[in-house]
Amino acid sequence: MSETVRELSVQLGDRSYPIMIGEGLLEARDLTPFVTGSQVMVVTNDTVAPLYLDKARGCFPGKQVHSVILPDGEQFKEWQTLNRIFDGLLEQQHTRKTTVVALGGGVVGDMAGFAAACYQRGVPFIQIPTTLLSQVDSSVGGKTGINHPLGKNMIGAFYQPKAVLIDTRTLQTLPPREVSAGLAEIIKYGLIRDTGFLAWLEDNMEALVALQPAELAEAIYRSCACKAEVVALDEREGGIRAILNLGHTFGHAIETYAGYGNWLHGEAVGTGMLMAAELSCLEGMISRADCDRVRRLVARAGLPEKPPVGMTADDFMKLMAVDKKNVDGQLRLVLLKAVGDAFVTSDADPDNLATTFSRFCTPAA
């Protein structure tokens, strides 16, 4: 095991924290050094609990450990379900010295993190992400929150964990679609600012799809390191951090159109990145060959290459207009100046945007 353990420190001044990555860590690590009080509340869902809840409890020897098991699914990322965490904390009389632990994917992490941010105005928080997407996305950045009927992630907080533990062995039980969804975000890091990593991914995509532990640990480490660099430059998302949203504006529109939970977030981001690459090509910034290179890598990761059948340009425009990345009503998009160099613009040519939609949208039969 030891040869594949990697550790990364996310540098945020007095809120810096470690990310520990390796195979079998859930059975090997004592997390009590990151717990200040005597109480721990593990938040998980009904898919993850039978697989890993007992192992996660084992990370906190000598502590009083309770758990809240939420229903699994993005559709439950809303207030009523969040409130079950508060119910559990209050029923078990957890004080403001309790530690909340998120055990699961991005939805569990977002909800447990937001609950930790709000419970008694903020208690410590530890993440044990068990999906590839959450390992490379939610581990860094401190974004937590829930959805509102009128928009995704509209209610939340920036809140940093005390530590993140990533056990790559948890990926063995992950459905292949979710592995692909995680790979979409991993590809994104290569595309936005790390051509070396992008080339590495082109060499190792099959090993990642086959869940080879050493390659997984490397890809997760490099993804988290890339995101940590960007976030350290811009913790509260005023500037450069926006490049992390490559593919997300198109992607959020796809997710909303399909209905929460029908398309995985990473799947929508995968298609969204292809649309962003196409628009970048039409804008004359990247070559057609670069555009194809992105498409091949996304395809090898097992990701969809088109939006849902029947989704139109109008659907996109309407759904993108309420995306929160828009400042004062302007449509802001992340595009590629080059492969490995993303930037934010409000100046995409509307004709090129229309052409992008026409090339990607498939009319209903």
Active site (catalytic) residues: 121, 143, 185, 227, 237, 241, 245, 248, 252, 265
Nearer to a copy of itself (CB atom), residue 234 or residue 341: 234
Asked if 90 touches a copy of itself (CB under 8 A), the answer is yes
Rule CB under 8 A: choose which of 24, 37, 261, 302 binds a copy of itself: 37
Nearer to a copy of itself (CB atom), residue 43 or residue 187: 43
Q: How far is residue 361 from each of residues 222, 224, 252, 272, 283, measured CA to CA in Å? A: 33, 33, 15, 12, 19
Contact 334, 242 (CB under 8 A): yes
SS3 at position 363: coil
Nearer to a copy of itself (CB atom), residue 324 or residue 359: 324
Per-residue contact flags (x/-) with a copy of itself for residues 142 to 161, judged by CB under 8 A: -xxx--x-xx-xxxxxx---
Q: How far apart are CA 246 and CA 145, in angstroms?
A: 20
- 75 among the known binding-site residues? yes
Q: Which residues contact 51 (CB under 8 A, 6 or more apart)?
A: 130, 170, 173
Rule CB under 8 A: choose which of 117, 187, 220, 254 binds a copy of itself: 117
Asked if 240 touches a copy of itself (CB under 8 A), the answer is no
Name the DSSP letter for residue 63: S
Q: How far apart are CA 23 and CA 178, in angstroms?
A: 19
Asked if 13 touches a copy of itself (CB under 8 A), the answer is no
Asked if 287 touches a copy of itself (CB under 8 A), the answer is no
- 323 among the known binding-site residues? no
- 173 among the known binding-site residues? yes
Nearer to a copy of itself (CB atom), residue 6 or residue 227: 227
Q: How far is residue 89 from each of residues 92, 230, 266, 271, measured CA to CA in Å? A: 5, 34, 31, 39
Rule CB under 8 A: choose which of 15, 288, 296, 324 binds a copy of itself: 324
Token reading at 323: 């995306």
Q: How far apart are CA 125 and CA 148, in angstroms?
A: 23
Rule CB under 8 A: choose which of 12, 209, 214, 322 binds a copy of itself: 322
- Closest distance to a copy of itself from the beta carbon of 15 (Å): 12
Rule CB under 8 A: choose which of 9, 11, 83, 358 binds a copy of itself: 83
- E strand or H helix at 66: strand 64-70
Residue 152 CB neighbours (<10 A): 18
Burial 50-62 (b: 16+ CB within 10 A, else e): ebbbebbbebbee
Asked if 244 touches a copy of itself (CB under 8 A), the answer is no
- Closest distance to a copy of itself from the beta carbon of 256 (Å): 13
Nearer to a copy of itself (CB atom), residue 29 or residue 227: 227
Contact 128, 26 (CB under 8 A): yes
Contacts with a copy of itself by CB under 8 A lie at: 37-38, 79, 83, 86-87, 90-91, 93, 95-97, 117-122, 143-145, 148, 150-151, 153-158, 236, 321-322, 324, 326-329
- Residues at the binding site for NAD(+) are 72-77, 106-110, 130-131, 143, 152, 170-173
